[in-house]
Amino acid sequence: MSKEIKLLLECGVRAPSSHNSQPWLFRVDEKYIEIYADPKRRLSEADRDGRMLFVSLGCLIANLKIAADFLGLSHSLAYYTSGTSDLAARMNFFGEKKKANGDYFRATSERRSNRNQYKNRPIPEDVIRALKDLNRDEGLRIDFVTSYKTRAQIADISSRAMGRIMSRSPFRRELAHWLRTNITRKKDGMPGSGHGMSLLVSCIAPHILRHVDVSKVEAKKERKRIMNFPAVVVISSRGNHRQQWLKVGELLEMILLAAQSKSIDSAIRVASIEDQIAREELRQALGLRNFEPQMLFGLGYAEKTAPHSPRRRIEDYILPAR
């Protein structure tokens, strides 16, 4: 594996993924990178239809594109989203081009999900307009929600969704499986420190999740989390299939990185996306008509910095050559 290909992959795997499951695999050559979904890391309870898995792959693809542009590698992307194959996309390389500005490339190593308290500080309108302009796909839609009334409506929808999801013991067991202590040596999953947990709480939280119905408590917390954001963002698509999910992920990551480049923090909140009832309520609340909500996250200025999530070694993601 060349240094350039390894750098591309190192940038790619900084992408966010549900429960930090890192559900991607690669087959590489000097002239291409094939991106595969890792079926062993699909979340059977939190992501029953595979939506978040392919959104995660879309985020990874966005990072690969950014790294290739930064390195001056001319490239094209082909999607493979029909049928049941785990192959999602292939990036082909064919020569050199002018190197791109490094702002987004640097943001890939700086971005992290920040679940701390956010300041009561609005995002400037010109920044919101610039983030909206990142969408060049007529099949996608971005809604930036800053009004208190609509944020409260979304918070109520998300709260009810969280209550329903967390009442399911299989979901809680799966979540507990991916929750890590603050001193874990594992290179995937969610260390408690990323959720503001002390060492002691991070050690007992998985046991509590497995054996206690915490749905009412988490529902109340979810409402506060949504209202914590100065801006709530929803990405929607006209279709509801793998290719749309990949493109949603690409747009999501571009917005997160553009925000990070302006020192704006972010946190993904998907209870109202994972729950079918809530998705419909969200669609009606935002007047989306023939668009389907695919991703929800918050933007703003956090009171404190947050730790990075761990990542596995690049070698762990590589499939053998054909």
The per-residue pLDDT for range 172-183, each reduced to its tens digit, is 999 999 999 999
Same fold, 3-111 and 125-300: yes
How far apart CA 141 and CA 240 sit, in angstroms, is 13
Give residue 81's pLDDT band: very low, low, confident or very high (50, 70, 90). Answer: confident
**Range with the lowest mean pLDDT among 77-81, 211-215, 224-228, 297-301?**
77-81
Cα 218 to Cα 111, 169, 196, 201, 236, distances in angstroms: 26, 14, 15, 15, 25
Give residue 127's pLDDT band: very low, low, confident or very high (50, 70, 90). Answer: very high
Tell me which amino acid residue 234 is.
V
How far apart CA 257 and CA 242 sit, in angstroms, is 23
Cα 196 to Cα 70, 105, 227, 277, 306, distances in angstroms: 34, 27, 18, 29, 9
DSSP 147-167: -HHHHHHHHHHHHHHHHHHHT
How far apart CA 100 and CA 106 sit, in angstroms, is 12
DSSP 174-228: HHHHHEE-TT---SSSEEGGGGT--HHHHHHHHHHHHHS--HHHHHHHHHHHHHT
Cα 45 to Cα 19, 71, 177, 214, distances in angstroms: 12, 39, 12, 17
Mean of the pLDDT values across residues 249-273? 97
Give residue 241's pLDDT band: very low, low, confident or very high (50, 70, 90). Answer: very high
Give residue 84's pLDDT band: very low, low, confident or very high (50, 70, 90). Answer: confident
Bridge partners of residue 101, in order along the sequence: none
Predicted confidence (pLDDT) at residue 58 exceeds the cutoff of 90 = yes
Find the helix or strand (DSSP H, E) in which 131 lies. helix 125-132
pTM above 0.95, yes or no: yes
Instruction: Please count the CA atoms within 13 angstroms of the CA of 192 that sit on its side-chain side.
Output: 18
**Range with the lowest mean pLDDT among 2-6, 170-174, 209-213, 246-250?**
2-6
Q: So what CATH class is 3-111?
A: alpha beta
pLDDT over 90 percentage in the chain = 96
CB distance 118 to 298 below 8 Å = yes
Predicted local confidence at residue 83, as pLDDT: 72
Q: Domain residues of the chain, as ranges? A: 3-111, 125-300
Q: For domain 125-300, give the fold.
A: NADH Oxidase (3.40.109)
Predicted local confidence at residue 311, as pLDDT: 97
